[in-house]
Amino acid sequence: MKSNLSVFFILLPTLFFGQSADVDLLPASFFKANRTQFIAQMPAHSVAIFFANPIRNRSNDVDYQYSQNPNFYYLTGFRDPDAVLLLFKEEKTFDSNKGVHELLFIRPKDKSEEMWAGKRSGISEAQKITDIRAVYTTTAFNEFGIDFTKFEEVWVEYPLQPNTEGRSKIALKNLVDDFNKKLLPQNIVDEIKPIKIMASCREVKQNEEIALVQRAIDISVEGFIELMKAIKPGFKEYQAQAIVEYFVKNNGGEYQGYPSICGGAGNSCILHYQDNRDSLKSGDLLLADMGGAYHGYTADITRTFPVNGKFTDEQKLIYNLVLKAQEAGIAVCLPGKSFRATHEATFDIISKGLVQLGIIKNDKEADQYFMHGTSHYLGLDVHDAGTYGPLKAGTIITVEPGIYIPQGSPCDKKWWDIGVRIEDDILINEKGPATNLSGRLPREIDEIEQLMLQQSYFK
């Protein structure tokens, strides 16, 4: 088929599974259970306060796409800015709402603002989303007369500093000012305890969350598969980026979970390279690290493959060493293993392999070419919250060893500009080996080269 972008974008929607938007949002009961779990860990006579993220300004009168504070979302499911959640250890009464542990303040409706920026959730809608009975507008906060000095412990997730960015600056500043008047610094017992509890709660994923992470992975994998088939010398790095991001958007992903990394040749040796502007040449490797976000949960996948479809001998040696290390890292993804077990397993293999290849003289020099950790938690954040204690069933982590040999490295020049990272998203199981949630995407050299021979809508 001719390389025709218009044909590609007309036909592509029929190539991948379809799903109506927002049919698999998490239910209000999910967020209710999360709040119950959090409150159970609060001490007697305490209150915890969580703020929604503000709208952040990009430039002049243009704002960034809004992204909710993950902890606030985990507890409420509420996606609007300028909201505040209060959780009480003991039952409270507010107006006709008796015996409540939860109090939510949201922005008031504003027809003028909604005309420009979109519909705001009203009180009844917020109640439905969150399963919180006591919902009020932020303008009503002062009427409650909450005396925070009466609590033995006051937890605040973030310091209460007025944020004047974005179009919501007046409403948010007024709200924060109101809280500052009632919350004296000496009343705030801890800003760390709520973060630690949230990390413990979010570390182990519930089945509903695992399904959303899997969906984010699946739509990202489809993009990677098409990219491997489409890539050829002369591509721009941003064109490679666009293919994966198209599949994410076309299949319901709201945005990328993090800025896409598409680095060819020497750029593959820059860990968080994000310019993605250079041309790709025959003989280059492309390191593509991308992951779409679906209903707040993100994928995080990396593959490295040759632009012309064939690995060189040197590239094969480095690639297979990284792959061997990754397999060793995945093998120790078992309940009870230390969080660093994956890094220890991968680093041991890479360090010994680099010595055997003559790239380093002793294994203590390996961190010159493998300088990052092997794993992080994955979920609502790409580097998700967690305790970094022993691995637990239901936890999702990445396993992503890499070797990066930039120009000028103290080794034979034949290794220069080879950067390889292989990353998959791994679910820790209660029994037996872990599940590679992104394992459908080829990793073996033969499989990659065979896939790259297949027809693409770009060739």
Give me the active site residues, please.
61, 272, 289, 300, 372, 376, 383, 400, 404, 421, 423
CA distance 165 to 172: 9
Residues 173, 161: Cα–Cα separation, whole Å? 9
Q: Taking the mean position of all CA atoms in its chain, how far away is CA 315?
A: 30
Phi-psi region of 145 (alpha: psi -120 to 50; beta: other; left: phi over 0): left
Q: What whole-number distance in Å separates Cα of residue 134 and Cα of residue 3? A: 57
Q: Do 232 and 372 touch, CB atoms closer than 8 A?
A: no
State how far the Cα of 372 lies from the Cα of 184, in Å rounded to an integer: 41
